[in-house]
Amino acid sequence: MDTTGEEGTAMDVEANTRPLEKEIVTDFRARQSYGSYLALDTLLDCQKPVSSPEHHDEMLFIVQHQTTELWLKLVLHETLAARAAFDDDDMGKALKCLARVKHIQKTLTEQWSVLATLTPTEYAEFRGFLGSSSGFQSYQYRAVEFLLGNKNAGILPVFDADPAARRLLGALLDEPSLYDAFWRCLARRGYDVPASALERDVTRAYVANPELIDLIAHVYRNSAENWDAYEAFEELVDLEENFQLWRFRHMRTVARTIGMKTGTGGSSGVGFLRRALDLTFFPELLEVRTVIGT
């Protein structure tokens, strides 16, 4: 049936279709396409279930974890940029990078709801094929933890079989954390940051420094005159809170799927994950809440 368009051009249009605009590129023999730019032929060939016979739900398990690793790659990219910005005294750029990380964290946390659709019986049908592989061995996750201050040299041997991952974690172990870079930035801005915060052994896990509490409380009580530092404090608190929410959803998803079973990597499973909730990145920014208003 011939129909006449608004411009008077006769078109044979099928119902519920959208005609292609003539300017849309359709020949990619000599042009870069969406697929080639994203290397989709490689990316979409990386989902290789190992169960035999192949179990339907293993694809979910693989995609969930691969997607998490892609987001962790971006978290690492942005957090490293934030640390470099603090080193360059560019507070605005650092906070912009951390704002992006916060949005990624929310996506990562919400992703657990997808994996939570995997029932215990479904997971049990292919769990045995995973061997000793475990999310505990995610070097990017450990890199993010190291970068935020939760350093643990004892975990490095886990990555001896992966020299590139071992080098990355070894470098981050020896370098100042994001939090170290932040306090050094504030000191260069004229804040009275105690020497104990500026000269600490950066290869050790960060622990609360009581000498910082007075400075932090001063900034909170005089936020109008110290807005950049005040805003940075709150951004870092958001970052920590988001990370803890991710850890909690991880723990609850594991409990929902395997109960109190031992993890495939040999950990105690839920118990091990629960203890991670006691780890903090920026402890003074939380402890100061007890001081303010008293």
Is 56 assigned to a binding site?
Answer: no
Is 24 assigned to a binding site?
Answer: no
Is 63 assigned to a binding site?
Answer: yes
φ, ψ of residue 118 to 5 degrees: the values are -80, 115
Is 77 assigned to a binding site?
Answer: no
Is 282 assigned to a binding site?
Answer: no
Residues in Cβ contact with 102 at an 8 Å cutoff, skipping those fewer than 6 apart: 235, 238, 239, 242
- Tell me how far apart the alpha carbons of residues 294 and 289 are, in angstroms, rounded to a whole number: 10
22-to-19, 25, 33, 35, 161 alpha-carbon distances in Å: 9, 8, 18, 21, 54
* DSSP, res 46: -
Is 34 assigned to a binding site?
Answer: no
Alpha carbons within 13 angstroms on the beta-carbon side of residue 275 total 5
- Tell me how far apart the alpha carbons of residues 110 and 90 are, in angstroms, rounded to a whole number: 31
Residues in Cβ contact with 207 at an 8 Å cutoff, skipping those fewer than 6 apart: 283
Report the length, in residues, of the chain.
294
Is 61 assigned to a binding site?
Answer: yes
Sign of CA dihedral 253, 106, 169, 185: negative
Distance of CA 93 to the CA centre of its chain: 19
Residues in Cβ contact with 181 at an 8 Å cutoff, skipping those fewer than 6 apart: 83, 86, 87
Examine residue 194 and say whether the peptide bond preceding it is cis (omega within 30 degrees of 0).
no
Q: Quick one: 281 exposed, middle or buried, by C-beta within 10 A (0-12, 13-18, 19+)?
A: buried
Is 144 assigned to a binding site?
Answer: no
Is 207 assigned to a binding site?
Answer: no
Pick out the residues of the known binding site. Answer: 61-65, 123, 127, 250, 264
Pick out the residues of the known binding site for heme. Answer: 250
Pick out the residues of the known binding site for substrate. Answer: 61-65, 123, 127, 264
